[in-house]
Structures are given as structure tokens and as C-alpha cells.
Amino acid sequence: MRILLIEDDPDTADYILQGLQGEGHEVQHAAGGRTALFEAAAGEWDVLVVDRMLPGIDGLGLVRVLRASGVATPVLFLTTMGGIDDRVAGLNAGGDDYLTKPFAFAELVARVAALGRRARGHAPETVLQVADLEMDLLARSVRRGGARIELQPREFMLLEYLMRHAGQVVTRTMLLENVWQFHFDPRTNIVDSHISRLRAKIDQGRAELIHTVRGAGYCLRAPS
């Protein structure tokens, strides 16, 4: 496999680089976030191994930009930040797996291999569907019951995030971070107002799909 290792610590990078090459993989190393962003977007990689703490742009920001640009290469986050909130943040940013340091090298090899198999075995998802609501990611179109719904770009991003997490409760913080790229509370009702407009466009007298979970956030799910 062709693997891009994005790690700023030279000793850790050398250890992983030599180990993965010893397993027969073709591995390239990038030490900084901005260099890695260019390499990841320009090359055809099977797996990206990404440290969370990087100079220039951190691992979360790097992966968010790649996903927003349509780069679907599987990502394994490799980091000392092992808390539950850290793992959730990594997966919500677009990561596919998360391994904390220190790690057993055999586990790293196994996780990289699993991501490579997953990528080869599945075509990129281009259509999202919940009940009679359908989003075509390539055509950038949304339909419900066959009728086209016109959305503004931010509304499209918001609905895409909700559909990718259908059946799950997503918090306002998660939406601010992943749809607006805010890593602070803007002290506005920006999420609520966009949700309200989105509901008005996709419901229009039909069964409600976006539900408010009091004290928690929102959940998009098919009518029961």
C-alpha cells in the first residue's frame, strides 16, 4: 500500500517509517500540516496516518480540509490525546480510526491493513438517503419524495452532516465545529436559525425528519 505518514516528531516518524517499509509498504513522510495537506491532496494514497498535534495546521483541521475537498482516503489518527472527547472529535472530523500513543506496532500494522481493505472494498458514497429524503453529493442536489429542494451552501452542509449521522443525536457544538468550523461558542443562535430554515424547506407539511432533543441537540431520523 501507499501510505502517507504525517508526524512531526522525528524519532516517532523514523520508527513508523522503517517499520511500515519493513512490512512491504511504500511510505512517504510529511512533518508539517501545510506540507502534508498538499501531499495528501495531490497524491493517490491508500491510507493516511495522521498525528493530531502538527505545526502549521493541526491534524483535525488537516482532515477537515481534505474531506471538504472531496479527498476520501482513509485516515488513522495516531496521537497521545486518548480521551473519549478527543476520539469523538477525531472521528467527527473525518477520521476512520484512532490509535493512541504509546502503541504496539503490530496493532498499527493491523489497523492500517484494515483501512486499506475497507477502502478497496467499498466505492465512495455519493448518495445519502433517509426515508424519502435523498441527497446526491456529486450533483449537489436534494430531493424529497422526488421533488427538488433548493438549499443554500451552508444549509446543504448542515443537512449532509445530519444525514451522515442519521439516527444519532448531534449537539450544537458538533454542528458549530463541523459545519461552521467554529471552535468556540459564537454566542448566537446561528445553529437554531439554520435548523429552522432547513426544517421549513424539507418538511413542507410532510412527516418531520429533524427532531429537537431537549437539552442535547438534534437528530435526523425516519418517521417511526
Residues 140, 117 within the same domain: no
Q: From CA 74, how far away is CA 97, in angstroms rounded?
A: 8
Residues 41, 106 within the same domain: yes
SS (H, E, C) 11-50: HHHHHHHHHHHHCCCEEEEECCHHHHHHHHHHCCCCEEEE
Q: Which residues in the chain belong to E strands, given as ranges? A: 2-6, 26-30, 47-50, 75-79, 97-100, 127-130, 133-136, 141-144, 147-149, 210-213, 217-220
Q: From CA 45, how far away is CA 41, in angstroms rounded?
A: 9
Helix/strand/coil for 3: strand
| pTM of the full structure | 0.54
The structural domain count of the chain equals 2
Q: From CA 21, how far away is CA 116, in angstroms rounded?
A: 15
Cell, residue 94:
473525518
CATH of residue 199's domain is 1.10.10.10
Residues 134, 197 within the same domain: yes
Residues 145, 45 within the same domain: no
Residues 88, 16 within the same domain: yes
Residues 116, 134 within the same domain: no
Q: What is the pLDDT of residue 218?
A: 95
205 CB contacts (<8 Å, ≥6 apart)? none
Q: What is the mean pLDDT of each run of 10 residues along the chain (224 residues)?
A: 92 91 90 86 88 87 89 89 83 89 87 81 71 90 93 93 91 89 81 95 90 92 85
Q: What is the pLDDT of residue 64?
A: 92
Query: 189, exposed or middle or buried, with CB in 10 Å at 0-12, 13-18, 19+?
Result: exposed
Q: What is the pLDDT of residue 120?
A: 63
Which of 93, 121, 149 marks a domain boundary? 121
Give the domain range for residue 155: 127-220
Q: What is the pLDDT of residue 10?
A: 92
